[in-house]
Chain A
Amino acid sequence: MQAVEDRTGAGSAARRNSLKASASAFSPPSPFQRGFDVAFRGLSLALAGSVIALLLGIVYQVMAHAAPAIRDLGTHFLVETKWNPNKQVFGVLPEIVGTLYTSCLALLGGGLLGVTTALVTSQGFLSRRWELVLKNVIELLAAIPSVVYGLWGIFVLIPILRPVAKVLHEQFAFIPLFETPFAGPAILPAALVLAVMILPTITAISREALAAVPKRLPAAAYGLGATRWEVIFRVVIPTASGGLFGALVLGLGRALGETMALAMLVGNANVYGWSLLSPGSTIAALLANHFPEAGPVEIRALMYAALVLLMMTLIVNLLGAAIMARATRGLKGLV
């Protein structure tokens, strides 16, 4: 009471002055402050809108520059197998097949390793500390630039694969996968490096999916006497299956667009087939190889190829995002 009286009562002049001063700090914003506020909010809004504009701009620019090629080449571009700027014959069938083939192979390897690593680092096999260490080491894989993977592939992986591939071709040439001799740069080393590159993506998203499984589901299964892997295979994986599937699809999206490692390792030959040992090509590698020295007509065809790549990755990524969203919503009922 005493203090309140002191503050509101007829105190000294100095106290009254300080009251005035503090009152001014609580006064409404000055015209300048209000103007600044409006300008700042307008600028933020404009730049937020620019994020959308950036996405649409990329799609628009690629489409606009590809338009003449789309008019000239039409859908024949998608089934033509030759790429010859001199005769003005352009087609990306080998590249589309190569992109899908290498990506799916990479998904097979990267998916298996990625989901396994996510399980090992999340299902209580290791102490918290070691789980974190292993997780960080796997994340290091994502930090290494893809051009360095390409260099490693050329000088380490391909020499290692050479004797193995020789035996595979000599003994198992009747299997379409090994029907051609090993070319050095080929589908197999490209897919292996790609698998390593998408592994951290798949591990990270799978870990999230596994972490979203409510703890009491595995706890109940353990209580019934299930072993750890019975719990993982029959409870954890089925519950997280939506999220794990989404992780694989997003990993595929990453693989489709990967450029440098493939441009250095796939051999860039305009052929396609089942053989893992033969060279091939991908759309991204085609762009990387031809863009720097292309003439105007070839540029248009390359823009068309870029559009095909853009559409492929957009569809796969949107599909992955939709699957992830559905998976999270599906788990909400269980929590």
Chain B
Amino acid sequence: MSERAIVRPRLRQPELDAGLRASHDGLRYSLKHRRTLLDAICTGVAFSLAGLALVPLLSLLAMLIVRGGPLLNLELLTGLPPAAGMPGGGIGNAIVGTLIVVGIAALFSVPFGLLAAIYLAELGNGSRFESVVRFAAKTLTGLPSILAGVFAYAVVVVTMGRFSALAGGIATGTLMVPIVTLTAEEALRMVPSRMRAAAYGMGSTRAQVALFVVLPAARPAILTGVTLALARAMGETAPLLFTALFSNYWFQGHIDQPIASLAVLIYNYASSPFDDLVGLAWAASLVLVSLVLVTNLVAQWLTRRPIEH
């Protein structure tokens, strides 16, 4: 308002209009300016690249449904793999096998990782040892998963003299330990320190504080970490190839015998010359990806629940 009042007496109306228009043009978002044009082009390129990144995911999910979806039925989920070249058959033993291997892995890796995390978050007091443990855990997460298989081969398969479900579980669990440790530590650290202070003030021991105060409070976040580790473990193939091997039969209750798994089934049948087996590989992929995604969704749902105070 006041600027106009100052400007108006000096300029005549047409000059004023032209000047206003020019300065307005300079500020308006217009592709006529070189810098704005360049900016718009960059935005376009960036969004195209981000869109390109999504193409494989969409194509993959679509293919899983198109190739695997029609094969889904009760026989597939409960049957045994067919003899080569025969139609029909199922992947029931592989589904059970995957769950057993992951179960064995979780049985030792979850308590292992959880107690290590309690040490890191509650008992370590920021010592040098504590940072070495954390460093080791971070290094383990970066290790190629096939090396966990090599480790379990050297420790279990060579000792027992044969491939076994146990070796597969140990290979997979080796991959889960650092994930559980690091996520659980983070979860424990999120618990407000006044809860610890209150418990110590009542004369609790450190074990009581860790187990009965901090651990329950951090439970949802810890469960999220464990569930994510499980989801990752289900899809691992490389550590099972030469530890759990594969089996065409049902699990007989012996964990010292080779066992089937969805991941190894997919690998074996993907390069099969028989269309029926390739179809089973697609169906198994659909089942495996669904299992992994559902587990991931459970993990996210667990996070959404607030920490209990």
Tell whether A264 pairs with B139 under 8 Å between CB atoms, given A51-B177, A148-B288: no
Question: By the criterion CB–CB under 8 Å, are B203 and A27 in contact?
Answer: yes
Tell whether A309 pairs with B144 under 8 Å between CB atoms, given A48-B119, A62-B154: yes
A156 to B84, CA, bound (A): 23
A251 to B210, CA, bound (A): 36
Question: By the criterion CB–CB under 8 Å, are B271 and A259 in contact?
Answer: no
Question: By the criterion CB–CB under 8 Å, are A116 and B46 in contact?
Answer: yes
Point out the residue from B122, B151, B271, B296 that lies within 8 Å of A143, measured CB to CB: B296
The residue on A at minimum CB distance from B29 is A227
A284 to B153, CA, bound (A): 15
Residue among A138, A227, A228 facing the most chain B CB atoms (10 A cut-off): A227
Within 8 A of B (CB), among A194-209: 196, 199
Question: By the criterion CB–CB under 8 Å, are B235 and A145 in contact?
Answer: yes
Contacts between chains A and B (CB distance < 8 A), count: 259
Question: By the criterion CB–CB under 8 Å, are B136 and A51 in contact?
Answer: yes
Question: By the criterion CB–CB under 8 Å, are B46 and A119 in contact?
Answer: yes
Q: Is A241 an interface residue (CB 8 A)?
A: no
Q: Is A217 an interface residue (CB 8 A)?
A: no
Question: By the criterion CB–CB under 8 Å, are B266 and A151 in contact?
Answer: yes
A228 to B45, CA, bound (A): 14
Within 8 A of A (CB), among B152-199: 153-155, 158, 174, 177-178, 181
Point out the residue from A40, A121, A140 that lies within 8 Å of B57, measured CB to CB: A140
Point out the residue from B43, B123, B235, B238 that lies within 8 Å of A44, measured CB to CB: B123
Question: By the criterion CB–CB under 8 Å, are B241 and A288 in contact?
Answer: yes
The residues of A that contact B267 with a CB separation of less than 8 Å are 147, 150, 260, 263-264
Residue among B112, B139, B289 facing the most chain A CB atoms (10 A cut-off): B139
A120 to B293, CA, bound (A): 25
Question: By the criterion CB–CB under 8 Å, are A48 and B237 in contact?
Answer: no
Question: By the criterion CB–CB under 8 Å, are A36 and B150 in contact?
Answer: no
Q: Is A50 an interface residue (CB 8 A)?
A: yes
Which of B5-13, B48-56, B71-79, B247-255 binds A?
B48-56
Question: By the criterion CB–CB under 8 Å, are B53 and A143 in contact?
Answer: no
Question: By the criterion CB–CB under 8 Å, are A143 and B293 in contact?
Answer: yes
Point out the residue from A227, A250, A303 that lies within 8 Å of B36, measured CB to CB: A227
Minimum distance in angstroms from A222 CB to a CB of chain B: 12
A232 to B38, CA, bound (A): 13
Point out the residue from B38, B59, B203 that lies within 8 Å of A152, measured CB to CB: B59
Question: By the criterion CB–CB under 8 Å, are B136 and A52 in contact?
Answer: yes
Q: Is B245 an interface residue (CB 8 A)?
A: yes
The residue on A at minimum CB distance from B148 is A58
A43 to B115, CA, bound (A): 8
Q: How many A residues face the partner with a CB closer than 8 A?
A: 89
Point out the residue from A36, A40, A147, A250 that lies within 8 Å of B235, measured CB to CB: A147
Q: Is A14 an interface residue (CB 8 A)?
A: no
Minimum distance in angstroms from B265 CB to a CB of chain A: 9
Question: By the criterion CB–CB under 8 Å, are A34 and B205 in contact?
Answer: yes
Q: Is A33 an interface residue (CB 8 A)?
A: yes
The residues of A that contact B174 with a CB separation of less than 8 Å are 54, 58
Question: By the criterion CB–CB under 8 Å, are A151 and B281 in contact?
Answer: yes
Question: By the criterion CB–CB under 8 Å, are A54 and B50 in contact?
Answer: no
The residues of B that contact A50 with a CB separation of less than 8 Å are 112, 116
Tell whether A37 pairs with B178 under 8 Å between CB atoms, given A54-B140, A137-B57: no
Q: Is A175 an interface residue (CB 8 A)?
A: no
A258 to B235, CA, bound (A): 13
Question: By the criterion CB–CB under 8 Å, are A37 and B208 in contact?
Answer: yes
Minimum distance in angstroms from B158 CB to a CB of chain A: 8
Question: By the criterion CB–CB under 8 Å, are A58 and B57 in contact?
Answer: no
Tell whether A44 pairs with B115 under 8 Å between CB atoms, given A51-B133, A264-B267: yes
Give the 10 A-B residue pairs with the shortest CB-CB distance, closest first: A257-B144, A145-B235, A40-B207, A37-B205, A48-B119, A44-B119, A259-B238, A227-B39, A317-B142, A291-B242
A-B contact pairs, 24 of them (CB 8 A): A33-B207, A43-B115, A52-B133, A65-B158, A134-B50, A144-B60, A144-B289, A145-B234, A145-B235, A145-B236, A148-B60, A150-B270, A151-B266, A151-B281, A229-B39, A229-B42, A256-B144, A257-B146, A288-B238, A288-B241, A291-B242, A292-B242, A310-B147, A318-B139
Q: Which residues of A contact B (CB under 8 A)?
A: 25-29, 33-34, 36-37, 39-41, 43-45, 47-52, 54-55, 57-58, 61-62, 64-65, 112-114, 116-117, 119-121, 125, 134, 137-138, 140-141, 143-152, 154-156, 193, 196, 199, 227-230, 232, 250, 253-254, 256-260, 263-264, 284, 287-288, 291-292, 302-303, 306, 309-310, 313-314, 317-318, 321
Q: A33-B205, A151-B282, A227-B38 are in contact. List 10 more A-B contacts (CB 8 A).
A: A40-B207, A40-B211, A48-B130, A49-B133, A51-B137, A113-B53, A125-B47, A196-B57, A259-B238, A260-B238
